[in-house]
Amino acid sequence: MSVSVSENSARRDIDATKLVVAQTDPRKGSLRRLWPQIRWYRRAMFVAAALSAVGMLCDILLPVLTARIVDGPVAHRQFGAIWHPLPLVAILAAVSTVTSWIRRWMVSGPASRLEVDLRANLFARLQILSVGVHDGMESGQLTSRAITDMSTLRRFFAAVAPSLLSLGATLWIGIGLLFVFSWQIGLVELVIEVPLVILALRFERGYGLASRRAQDKSGDLATIVEESAQGIRVLKAFGRGPWFGARFRRQSRELRTLELAKVRLAATLWTALNVLSASGIAAALAIGGYLLAEHAMSLGALIAGITLTTYLQWPIMGFGFLLAELEHARTAAERYWEVIDTPVEIVDPAEPAARPTELLGELCFDNLRFRFPDAERDLLHRISLRLRPGETVAVVGATGSGKSALLGLVPRLFDVSEGAVRIDDIDVRALRLADLRSMVSVAFEDPVLFSASVRENITLGYPEATESQVRAALEVACADGFVDALPWGLRTRIGEQGLSLSGGQRQRLALARAVLARQRHPGGHVVVLDDPLSALDVTTEKQVQDRLRAALSGATVLLVAHRPSTAAWADRVAVLDGGEIIADGPHEELLDTCPRYRELMGGEITEGATPAPAR
C-alpha cells in the first residue's frame, strides 16, 4: 500500500535486512530443502556427475597405460610395440573431451529452468506477503535475492554439485590405484586427506559467515543505487548528490572489506592445499625413489605413482574452489528461504463466503481496533462507522492519525486487530481475496505507476476493458487531454514510477484506473480514494469532482480529504482524532459544531488537540 508521506514518516523504522522467518535456523539444511523442488532436475545432475567422473577416470587411466608401456616395450626395448597402446590413449583423451562437452550441454537447459522456477517462486511469494512485511524490506535486498542469488543457485546445481560428486569419486579411485602401484605412496596420499578435511570444515564455517555478510551488504548497495535513481530530482534540487555519493562510496568500501575477508580465507585455504599437494608429490617421489633403488618398485610403477599423485592435485585443490561456491550457494539458499518462510498473514479463509450476486455496497466498520505488528500501541481503536449503499463519506484527520491505514483495511491490505470491516454484512476476512478486491476499487494519494504503457497502467484492475471504457475513465479523471498529447497516446510508455509525468497527471491516471476498475462490477461497487486529488489545482479538482460524482453514481465511496472542497463533496464527514472518530456529519454542520474539524479545515491545530499515536 502506498501510504501518505506524512503517515509513513510517523512509522518506526524497520530493519530491512531482518525478515520474519518461520524457522529458527533457516541456514541449517538450506540447500537440502531445495531437493524436493528439483526432482525433475536430479536425473540431469546425476548424469552430469557420472559423465564428469567418466572423463576424470579416463584421465586417471593414462598413467596406468604409461606404466604398462614403460615396464613393457620400453623395459624390454621393444620400441615397435609402443605404437600399439597409442590408439587407446587417443580414445581415452577423446572420451574425456566428449563427456565434458555433453555434461555442459545436458545441464545448461535444466539449470536455467531451475533458475527461472526459483525466481518465479520467490516473486510469487512476494506478491502474497502482506503490505506490512513489504514495508520492512529494502528493494535492493529483494533485487539481490531475486537476481544474484538465483544465478548463484543455478551455477551450483549446474556445475558445483556435479563436480563435488565426481571429484570425490575420482579422488578415492585415484588413491585406490595408488595403493595398487605402491601402498606406501597410496598411504601418503591418504594421510594428506586428514588435514584437508579439517581445513575444509574450518573454511566452511568462516567463509559461510563472510559470504552472508557480503551478500547482505551487496543488497544494501543495490538499495542505494535504486534510491538515488528514483530520487535523482530531489538529490539535484537540494544539491545532495555528493552526500549520496559519499554514502555510496562508504558502503562500497565496506563491501570491499567484506570481499577481501573472503579472499583472505580462500587464499589461506588454497595456500594450504598447494602445500599439502606439493608435500604429497615430494613424499611420493622420495618413497618411490627409495623403493626403486631397492628394486621394490618398477620404473613404470614409480612414473605412474608420481603422475597420479600430480593429477590428484586438481581434485584436492578443486575442493577449495568448490567449497567457496558451496558457501555462496548455501547463503543464497538461506536468503531464498528467508523470503519463502516469511509467514503470509493475509490469506483466503479456509471456507470462504460466497461473493454477493447483487452487491449493494454497504460498508461498515464495526468497533474495530488496529495496530501495526511492530507498534506498541493501537493506531485506531473503537472505530464504528457505517456507509449506506451509494453514500460518499470523507475521513478527515491530522497528519499520522491513521486515515490511510483505515482505508487500507477495506481491501485487506492490513487486517484489523479486533472488530471487523463488513461489506453487505459480510466480514471482508470471510471473502476470498480475489472476490473482495474485485468489489473494491482503490486510488492512493501517492500514485504508483509502472514502467509500461499508459493503457496497461490504467487497465491494471480491468485488463479486458474496451477502448471506449478506457476513454471514458480518462475523461472522468480529466486525463484524456494530456494522454492524447503524449507521443503515442495510450501506447506511450511512461517510464519507471511515471516520473516523466507531473504529480497531478500521475494522480489522474491512478484515479482513472480506479474508475475503470469499477466498470468491471458496476453494481454497488465500493470505491476507496486516499486523497486522490491533492496534486490537482483548484479548477481541475472541481472538474474531476463533477465528473466523479456522475461516474460513481450508485457506488459507495470512502475517501480521505485534506481540502475543504474535497470534504464538501462528500455526503458526510468523519473526523478522526486520537485514533477515534470524534464527530460525524455533513461538512457545513461540522464547521458549526466541531471545533476540531474547523481547525483541520483551517490548517491550524491548537495545543490542546489530542495527538495521534505516533509510530
Task: Indicate if 374 and 327 belong to the same structural domain.
Answer: no
CA angle 241, 244, 245 (to 5 degrees): 80
Binned at pLDDT 50, 70 and 90, residue 208 comes out as: low
Q: For residue 235, what pLDDT is reported?
A: 66
pLDDT value of residue 77: 67
Does residue 279 fall inside a structural domain? yes
Residues spanned by the domain of 225: 27-340
Question: Which has more confidence, 25 or 10?
Answer: 25
pLDDT tens figures, 501-533: 777 888 888 888 888 877 776 666 888 888 777
- Residues with Cβ within 8 Å of 4's Cβ and at least 6 positions away in sequence, in order, are 403, 404, 445, 446, 530, 531, 560
Claim to verify: residue 332 and residue 447 sit in the same structural domain? no
Phi/psi region, residue 419 (left: phi>0; alpha: psi -120 to 50; beta: rest), is: left
Across 268-274, average pLDDT: 76
The answer to whether residue 133 sits within a structural domain is: yes
At 496 the pLDDT is 61
For the chain, give the mean pLDDT: 78
Per the structure, the count of domains in the chain is: 2
Looking at 325, 340, 355, the residue that finishes a domain is 340
What confidence category does residue 25 fall into, taking pLDDT thresholds of 50, 70 and 90?
very low
Round to whole Å and give the CA distance between 114 and 120: 10
Return the pLDDT at 71.
65
Is the pLDDT at 608 greater than 50? The verdict is no
Q: CA 406 to CA 139: how far, in whole Å?
A: 25
Q: What are phi and psi of 14, to 5 degrees?
A: -110, 135
| pLDDT digit string, tens, across residues 401-412 | 889 889 989 999
- pLDDT (average), residues 316-320: 68
Statement to judge: residues 385 and 462 lie in one domain: yes
With respect to residue 4, please indicate whether it lies within any of the assigned structural domains.
Answer: no
The reply to whether 321 and 193 lie within a common domain is yes
**Has residue 28 got a pLDDT over 60?**
no
CA distance 180 to 183: 7
Query: What is the band of 613 on the pLDDT scale with cuts at 50, 70, 90?
Result: very low
107-111, 331-335, 482-486, 591-595: lowest mean pLDDT where?
107-111
Residue 15 domain-assigned? no
Q: Indicate if the pLDDT at residue 500 is higher than 90.
A: no
pLDDT of residue 393: 93
Q: Is the pLDDT of residue 387 over 90?
A: yes
pLDDT (0 to 100) of residue 406:
92
Rounded distance, CA 396 to CA 394, Å? 6
Higher pLDDT, 189 or 406: 406
- What pLDDT does 565 receive? 82
Q: Are residues 216 and 250 in the same domain?
A: yes
**CA dist., res. 387 & res. 363, Å (int):** 5
Overall average pLDDT of the 263-275 stretch: 78
Q: H or E stretch including 528?
A: strand 526-530
Q: Does residue 347 lie in a domain region?
A: no
Rounded percentage of the chain residues whose pLDDT exceeds 90: 10
Would you place residue 562 in the very low, low, confident or very high pLDDT band (cuts 50, 70, 90)?
confident
pLDDT in tens, 36-86: 877 777 777 788 778 877 877 787 777 777 777 776 666 566 666 666 677
Q: What pLDDT was estimated at residue 74? A: 64
* pLDDT value of position 364: 95
Give the Cα separation of 441 and 387 in Å (integer).
Answer: 16
Using CA atoms, how far apart are residues 381 and 443, in angstroms rounded to an integer? Answer: 24
Looking at residue 380, its pLDDT comes to 92
Look at residue 584 in the predicted model and tell me its pLDDT: 92
Q: Using the predicted structure, report yes or no on whether residue 21 has a pLDDT greater than 60.
A: no
Query: Which among 288, 305, 340 is the end of a domain?
Result: 340
pLDDT at residue number 15: 34
How big is the chain, counted in residues? Answer: 615
Q: Tell me the pLDDT band of 493, cut-offs 50, 70 and 90.
A: confident
Residue 192 in any domain: the answer is yes
Least confident of 194-198, 379-383, 603-607: 603-607
Nearest C-alpha neighbor of 211 from the set 139, 273, 152? 152
Whether residue 614 is contained in a domain is answered as: no
Do residues 407 and 292 both lie within one domain? no
Confidence of residue 611 (pLDDT cuts 50, 70, 90): very low
Which CATH number characterizes residue 314's domain? 1.20.1560.10
Which carries the bigger pLDDT value, residue 587 or residue 304? 587
Is residue 512 within 8 Å of 454, Cβ to Cβ?
Answer: no
Spatial neighbors of 100 by CB under 8 A, at least 6 apart, are: 51, 52, 55
Looking at the DSSP bridge assignments, the partners of residue 560 are 395, 530
263 falls within a domain: yes
Same domain, 336 and 367: no
Q: What is the pLDDT of residues 217-249, one digit of tens each?
A: 777 777 777 667 666 666 666 677 777 778 788
Arithmetic mean of pLDDT, 435-450 = 81
Are 387 and 283 within one domain? no
Q: Are residues 231 and 318 in the same domain?
A: yes
| Same domain as 170, residue 304 | yes
Counting Cα atoms < 13 Å in the Cβ hemisphere of 448 gives 9
How confident is the model over 339-372, as pLDDT tens digits? 888 888 888 898 999 888 888 889 999 999 998 8
Same domain, 455 and 335: no
Together in a domain, 309 and 367? no
- Assign 4 a pLDDT band (cuts: 50, 70, 90): very low
| Whether residue 423 has pLDDT greater than 90 | yes
Kindly tell me if the per-residue pLDDT of 114 is higher than 80: yes
CATH number, domain of 555, equals 3.40.50.300
Highest average pLDDT, of 132-136, 216-220, 456-460, 522-526, comes from 456-460
Task: Evaluate if residue 421 carries a pLDDT over 90.
Answer: yes
* pLDDT value of position 264: 82
DSSP character for 583?
E
